[in-house]
Structure 1
């Protein structure tokens, strides 16, 4: 009895150690983008969202913010179909987006935002379709503002670039997704309050389809900065001290952009 039990425990431990695909911003970052966006929504847009979210387990914008990252657990087929919608690789092309080269078949975050926003705005479609589109839009606008989701293809958006920070191995993608944010020790509410104090970025007049390529190109330019990729695998605290404010500004920008998209798509006044 002891040996089978030990083997079972070893199997569970091995599963826990398997690498997990990185998620842009992690759940905290995606929720923060959604919460920031809610601040800037018009009353009519909020009402339209409340109608679409009726019946959801957590019927809030933040409550659906991580849905697209959970697809592989709840709908494996849709998760596979939409896997490439979370990013676009334009670092090798000096951060200049070209659809036919960088997004074949529309399978990248830029075109996914455009397509799903159009579905969300189309009141002739069933509410179930528009709800799914809302979930995608909330998530993908956040993704587009995570620098490594618009970076290099050769290292899979930093997933293949290994670093060590605070005595733990990780990669650049995970570091920017969540490790730097979590290291502050702030609660979600405290982080939200902090981000609200940051200057509001100016994004210009919102159009449909939204300027998702501009957001991706801006994110990519952060990756292209000379010191974005560290020279040594072991990171000093100075790296985080310098780059965490960039991640926070991107979260702030993501919230402003998401609100502008949703207001343009949903406000009927």
Structure 2
């Protein structure tokens, strides 16, 4: 392939900041499924009403919508591309909106902005449904550690690793391959995660507008922890066994915190 064509293709690929999809379809659906039993009746009723606009029946049905925009709505996908992540690894995992999120283009501010839209019952239902889709997805994204890591390696996208003789990158490994290594279907995985200790007992971590920044900082500290970046490109099952419990807990936390957020922003019961 001519070098000029390679350069063009690479440039196009890098114009999408989130090359890999956080958690992959399984992880995002698990986050949504773990959230649903924790919803209050008021939140559940309003979510069901909004989902019915598009004949969806659960949060899991919309959990991957924001990633699918790249194919289904390229313009919105491009405009929202930076909303999937935050780069604070170079800043000791401290969130500063001026440095880390200019113009509100990061997952922290996207969660806050979309939650405000969802909470505003004067807005059209279609707009609020879109906000719900974004919130469900972005709460999952911010709990994927490498979505809050280093800018210099694009959240591990440029860190090549070799697993079982096949090449991939560190970001993709944490997005989906760690969860996939459990070799469980969606129903079985959800059931297993529900058997684990509750990562967030009810009422202990209420959602506030500043909460997403805290979640991002916590995710970043995981991304920068010793051992996450392997000392050599070839990794084996020991790496998977060591880090899979971490991503499982992050999925659990995301589900619990998503429910807390939705319960608060949809707390008012309105008769229509």
Question: TM (normalized to structure 1)?
Answer: 0.90
CA distance in structure 2 between the partners assigned to 1:64 and 1:196 by the alignment? 21
User: Partner of 1:41 in structure 2?
Assistant: 39
CA distance in structure 2 between the partners assigned to 1:171 and 1:204 by the alignment? 36
Displacement of 1:55: 3.4
Displacement of 1:39: 1.3
User: Partner of 1:230 in structure 2?
Assistant: 230
Quick check: 1:118–1:209 contact (8 Å CA) kept in 2?
A: no
Q: Match of 1:160, SS?
A: coil
CA distance in structure 1 between the partners assigned to 2:259 and 2:192 by the alignment? 18
Quick check: 1:198–1:252 contact (8 Å CA) kept in 2?
A: no
User: Partner of 2:132 in structure 1?
Assistant: 134
2:74 to 68, 73, 76: 76
1:63 to 61, 64, 77: 61
User: Partner of 2:177 in structure 1?
Assistant: 179
Q: Match of 1:36, SS?
A: helix
CA distance in structure 2 between the partners assigned to 1:207 and 1:237 by the alignment? 36
Displacement of 1:87: 0.1
Displacement of 1:209: 2.0
- CA displacement 1:32-80 (0-9 Å, x = unmatched): 0000000100111111000001132533100000000011111111111
> Does structure 1 residue 260 correspond to structure 2 residue 225?
no
User: Partner of 2:220 in structure 1?
Assistant: 220
Displacement of 1:198: 2.0
Displacement of 1:161: 0.4
User: Partner of 2:157 in structure 1?
Assistant: 159
Displacement of 1:210: 5.1
Q: Match of 2:184, SS?
A: coil
User: Partner of 1:143 in structure 2?
Assistant: 141
What number of residue pairs does the alignment pair up? 253
CA distance in structure 1 between the partners assigned to 2:225 and 2:253 by the alignment? 19
CA distance in structure 2 between the partners assigned to 1:198 and 1:247 by the alignment? 13
Q: CA RMSD of the aligned region, Å?
A: 1.7
Structure 1: state its 5+ residue gaps. 1-14
CA distance in structure 2 between the partners assigned to 1:260 and 1:149 by the alignment? 21
- List aligned pairs for 1:89-108, cutoff 5 A: 89-108=87-106
Q: Match of 2:103, SS?
A: helix
Displacement of 1:213: 0.4
Q: Match of 2:234, SS?
A: coil
Structure 2: state its 5+ residue gaps. 1-8
CA distance in structure 2 between the partners assigned to 1:228 and 1:146 by the alignment? 13
Q: Match of 1:169, SS?
A: strand
CA distance in structure 1 between the partners assigned to 2:188 and 2:195 by the alignment? 11
